[in-house]
Amino acid sequence: MAVTGGAMFLFVVGHMAGNLKVLFGPEAFNEHPRWLRGIGEGLLGYGGFVWIARVGLLLCLVLHMTAAIQLARRAAAARPARYQRRGPVRGSYAARTMRWGGVIIALFLVYHLMDLTAGWLNPVGDLEHPYRNVTADFRHWYVTLAYTVAIVTLGFHIRHGLWSALQSLGASNARRQRVLKGIALGVAVLICAGFLAVPFSVLTGLVK
Amino acid sequence: MRYVEGSPIADAKAPDGPIETRWDRRRFGAKLVNPANKRKLTVIVVGTGLAGGSAAATLAELGYNVLSFCYQDSPRRAHSIAAQGGINAAKNYRNDGDSIHRLFYDTVKGGDFRARESNVYRLAQISVEIIDQCVAQGVPFAREYGGLLDTRSFGGAQVSRTFYARGQTGQQLLLGAYQALARQISAGRVRMHPRTEMLDLVVADGRARGIVARDLVTGEVTTHLADAVVLATGGYGNVFYLSTNAKGCNATAVWRAHRRGALFANPCYTQIHPTCIPVSGDHQSKLTLMSESLRNDGRVWVPARKGDTRPANEIPESERDYYLERIYPSFGNLVPRDIASRAAKNVCDSGHGVGPGGLGVYLDFADAIRRLGKPAVEARYGNLFEMYQRITGEDPYEVPMRIYPAVHYTMGGLWVDYDLQSTIPGLFVIGEANFSDHGANRLGASALMQGLADGYFVLPNTIGDYLAAGPFDPVPADHPAVVEAENGVRERVSALLAVNGDRTVDSFHRELGQLMWDHCGMERTEEGLRKALERIPELRREFWERVRVPGDGEGLNQALEKAGRVADFFELAELMCLDALHRTESCGGHFRAESQTPDGEALRDDERFSYVAAWEHGGPDGPPVLHREALDFEYVTPTQRSYK
Amino acid sequence: MRLTLRVWRQAGPDEDGRLVDYAVDDVSPDMSFLEMLDVLNERLIMEGEEPIAFDHDCREGICGMCGMMINGVAHGPERATTTCQLHMRHFADGDVVVIEPWRARAFPVIKDLVVDRGAFDRIIEAGGYITAPTGSAPDAHAIPVPKPDADKAFEAAACIGCGACVAACPNGSGMLFTAAKATHLGLLPQGQPERYSRAVEMVAAHDALDFGGCTNTGECAVACPKGIPLESIARLNRDVLRATVTGAHEPR
């Protein structure tokens, strides 16, 4: 979980950075995918890197979900009889929402790929002009809402996931624990803010 | 007085000669068991506290097959776990004049000259090895910044010889023994039977060969056979109903062994601990001890005026009686346990007590907080203050604590010789369950020392002398002794269930406890003891006519477990009163009002009572038989204790 | 005070259980939670009913025998407090209190509120010890232990094995218990020779005993009456990881 989550976390950070190019106008934003596809062109051919990354990420995703399902099944097996009266969450809410959060993120991912990668669900659907696709999307309030929900969920997921990964890999200790939790929270907030900057820039007319 | 004189008894195992070499010579004189034979020998160990846990683990390490039993759900929960203060050892790491001889001397004197010199000397010798062993096991004792072990002085000792792990020394030592036991369980050398209670001893052809036990989960009654039986079942403080013992602590194993012929020594020696949280109401189910260390900085007082009901903070300094400082100017609040307890009782009896029922005295930290500052007091006693506040709802930083004495430990127990063998061949008794080392009063931090000395070092060395004659002929399942014991247990269970009367077990237990506390507690009188000896048999008869035990014997039935234990407490209580009545001197924890100095201190009578009273069970109807073991003091001359 | 108790009653391991309501009057605020149950049990016996079975022993918060879910919270509402040390002054007149046993596959119910926690013993037997047969020890001062290490080891060693961590964990995991022992012994110089094999074998036993997996939700550390810190789990993970990566784990 920690390793695959970590890989996907790095992708999310890169993705967010790329998204922010939207603030620099259509040229900068439309240039970004071309630059990505051009990485290692001599060796891999145009777009080769992107395909390798996609395969890698898909593999991570499958492993991550498999592990999550295994843990969930183990948890269910470990408590066959449930409590009649469930207590309040005393640990962390982020930790409690990992599983349903993961499901929401996965569903969003499917939509997101059909919308902006394949363009099937996009109001414009012009793969050569991602900038137009994005701005067209976020003019619809429901798209923005779905996007926001997904990103906030992702934020929670990262908030617990990042810290939990460090804990699972044994990097945490008493002195560092508070700091690491703070860092995880900070990173999660930054990532949320970075991703949400795009739709809200569109909504507020900052990006046209 | 209903008892008969028996023949004197002597410990045939302790070598004489120089006391320093007796243990060495005993180990050399004892027969050894051939390693190949150890695999063919089985030992039953009942109880998994410090003594039983360490003995079972060590016997298994030596190569014996061990069957271990405890009534709790895990061997880790035995009541040794609740010991707070520490464990004594004559390491002299402080270079403050301690030595094996001094620990020996302090223990004999602290026991008011009613313990055997040979045993106590061996205990002091072994104390040193115990600390080494426990450290090697990973017991996290308190350490100083240099990485070496910290010690503190405890219970009135003038040297700093008590090793500790915060206020949880017993827990950490027990977990050490438990882990050693766990290693042997996983190695297959110990078969563990948790939630199993010994209900009788099997004595076949003159030897202890097994036990009859009830599986507390299934209710099944089974006989377990072996070549020797070791009882490590703790003390009998729960006779008093309210005590600092765990709720499950009981005397059934030792009492059943006593009924099978093992002598019971000094049953009247009970220790009442002065600093416990007072009773808060009729619902009270047990008492909680507050570490003795509180007396290092707290001042004990009561209102000088009788029946003064003002809150403590409103009573001016001039109207307070700091009675320990007044009566014992040189030791003040640090007098030994028995003296502090009796003084508290006296001021409460004379109407100066505080809190519900007037059964409490103040332990005040206001001066200490003024002198040292709150943070310093918090650093020393923070966890104890928290515990007090959790239980009473009062904040000891603001209002003085209320404390009262409570039954804590029993020095009496089954009689054993130097090898820790009882009068039944093959039955060994270790830890609090035996009588051996503390005389009439135990010093603070010495119970852990004795339990571990017996279990790790003494018994594993001495039991070989007995087992060298084995393996003994197998006892068949239809041996008359087995059949008789097993049937006896089943009949008793059925009898308890069959009464179906109109009183609960607890109501009887509370009544017995109150009776014992009133007449066989901190102060005993002939009149009171006679009254108790009259009332206990009546109460016992009533118990068997009126007790109601619900359910059946087929599964987990906690009321049934309690009933069996209380039934045995009745019989033991009677023997305790009888022993207290016959011993017309005061010594240690046994204070006879008739035997005191003009200023109210305990007055021993060495001429007549310098002996161990070892009682033989008189059979179903006969009176108990008293065997005396004379105590000789070659190395420590008995003197009158004085703490003025 | 008058309370309504809603208590899980289950006659035996294979029987069906259910919650049963009992009205309890005259509850004194000075009573402990278990003393309140004692009073109820006395009444049940006199009314010809089976008393409620619950585990308890020392009643001073150290033996680890007691423990029940009180309104869905392990050991009840007070932090750092075992059930036996919980007092009724923390409840209000008229409260409904739901009492259930620990629930985990590794802790099967024996009767009412009594569960079998033998799985914890199995975890310790798998390696939660230092191999030091009696008599083999060097002098206690032969190996100094830095005070911070000794203090930290003590903090982990304070675990009472009550099972609240498992009961509170949404995953039914026993990692806090396992980690507490591994941390206690792994921090001391005496525990170094077996440090990695201990970690690996205890975790293997834990996993084989039907406990759930740890997802670091932190519920265990909040429920723990002795305040065993969550970082012990990180420490255990670190040792297991190192043992797996470097092959430092030599099976015994």
B227-241 residue pLDDT tens:
999 999 999 999 999
Q: Evaluate if residue C251 carries a pLDDT over 60.
A: no
Superfamily of domain C3-110: Beta-grasp domain (3.10.20.30)
Q: How far is A147 from chain C (nearest CA, A)?
A: 26
- Among the residues of chain C, which ranges form H helices? 33-46, 118-125, 147-157, 164-168, 175-186, 195-208, 219-223, 231-246
Separate counts of helices (H) and strands (E) for chain C: 8, 7
Query: In C, which residues are within 8 Å of B355 by CB distance?
Result: none
A118-147 residue pLDDT tens:
999 999 988 889 999 999 999 889 999 999
Sheet holding B270-276, edge to edge: B270-276, B401-410, B361-364, B299-303, B320-321
State the pLDDT at residue B423: 98
Query: In B, which residues are within 8 Å of C87 by CB distance?
Result: 390-391, 393
Instruction: Give the chains touching B; criterion: ≥3 Cβ pairs < 8 Å.
Output: C
Interchain pair C138, B281: CB under 8 A: no
* Domain boundaries C117-246, CATH class: mainly alpha
Locate B205 and state its tokens: 């052809």
Number of A–C residue contacts, CB under 8 Å: 119
State the pLDDT at residue B618: 94
Sheet holding C3-10, edge to edge: C17-24, C3-10, C96-100, C69-70, C73-74
Residue of C nearest to A164 (CA): C216
- DSSP class of C175: H
State the pLDDT at residue B382: 86
Interchain pair A84, C221: CB under 8 A: no
Task: Please tell me which of the candidates C72, C106, C219 has its beta carbon nearest to residue A85.
Answer: C72
C19 touches chain B (CB under 8 A): no
Instruction: Give the chains touching A; criterion: ≥3 Cβ pairs < 8 Å.
Output: C
Q: How far apart are CA C154 and CA B168, in angstroms?
A: 10
Residue of C nearest to A177 (CA): C231
Interchain pair B147, C146: CB under 8 A: yes
Mean pLDDT of C48-53: 96
Give the residue numbers of B marked as catalytic. Answer: 337
- DSSP class of A65: H
Q: How far apart are CA B466 and CA B457, in angstroms?
A: 16
Interchain pair A95, C218: CB under 8 A: yes
Q: How far apart are CA B342 and CA B523, in angstroms?
A: 7
State the pLDDT at residue C200: 96
Q: How far is A187 from chain C (nearest CA, A)?
A: 18
Interchain pair A83, C215: CB under 8 A: no
Q: How far apart are CA C43 and CA B320, in angstroms?
A: 44
Interchain pair C78, B149: CB under 8 A: no
Q: How far is C120 from chain A (nearest CA, A)?
A: 14
Q: How far is B216 from chain C (nearest CA, A)?
A: 11
Interchain pair C58, B81: CB under 8 A: yes
**If you average pLDDT over every residue of chain A, what do you get?**
92
C143-176 residue pLDDT tens:
999 999 999 999 999 999 999 999 999 999 999 9
Nearest alpha-carbon partner for C213 in B507, A2, A145: A2
Residue of B nearest to C39 (CA): B283
Q: How far apart are CA B93 and CA B89, in angstroms?
A: 10
Indicate the pLDDT class of residue A206, thresholds 50, 70 and 90. confident
Task: List, as own/partner pairs, every contact residues A87-92 make where C-beta atoms lie below 8 angstroms and the sequence separation is at least 24, other chains included.
Answer: A87/C69, A87/C71, A87/C72, A87/C73, A87/C74, A87/C168, A88/C72, A88/C73, A89/C219, A90/C73, A90/C168, A90/C219, A90/C222, A90/C223, A91/C217, A91/C218, A91/C219, A91/C220, A91/C221, A91/C222, A92/A160, A92/C217, A92/C218
Domains of chain B: 273-408 (3.90.700.10)
ipTM of predicted complex: 0.98
Instruction: Give the chains touching C; criterion: ≥3 Cβ pairs < 8 Å.
Output: A, B
Domain ranges of chain C: 3-110, 117-246
Handedness of CA A188, A192, A195, A197 (dihedral sign): negative
Task: Please tell me which of the candidates C50, C57, C110 has its beta carbon nearest to residue B551.
Answer: C50
Interchain pair B72, C141: CB under 8 A: no
End-to-end Cα, chain B, rounded Å: 36
State the pLDDT at residue C252: 53
Interchain pair C50, B179: CB under 8 A: no
Indicate the pLDDT class of residue C223, thresholds 50, 70 and 90. very high
Contact between chain C and chain A (3 or more Cβ pairs less than 8 Å apart): yes
Interchain pair B246, C63: CB under 8 A: yes
Which residues have a Cβ under 8 Å from the Cβ of C116 and sit 6 or more positions away? B73, B217, C107, C108, C109, C110
Q: How far apart are CA B594 and CA B41, in angstroms?
A: 52
**Rounded to 5°, angle at Cα B235 from B280 and B194:** 100
Task: Please tell me which of the candidates B183, B283, B507 has its beta carbon nearest to residue C35.
Answer: B283
- Among the residues of B146-251, which ranges form H helices? 169-186
Q: What Å distances lie between residue B578 and B411, B560, B581, C27, CA to CA?
A: 16, 28, 5, 39
Q: How far is C121 from chain B (nearest CA, A)?
A: 7
Q: How far is B128 from chain C (nearest CA, A)?
A: 9
> Do the two domains C3-110 and C117-246 of this chain adopt the same fold?
no
**Rounded to 5°, angle at Cα B583 from B579 and B584:** 140
User: Which regions of chain B are under pLDDT 70?
Assistant: 1, 155-156
State the pLDDT at residue A59: 97
Which residues have a Cβ under 8 Å from the Cβ of B522 and sit 6 or more positions away? B272, B341, B342, B345, B405, B591
Residue of C nearest to B141 (CA): C150
State the pLDDT at residue B357: 86
Task: Please tell me which of the candidates C73, C173, C215 has its beta carbon nearest to residue A98.
Answer: C215
State the pLDDT at residue C248: 65
Number of B–C residue contacts, CB under 8 Å: 220
Nearest alpha-carbon partner for B334 in B302, B369, B297: B297
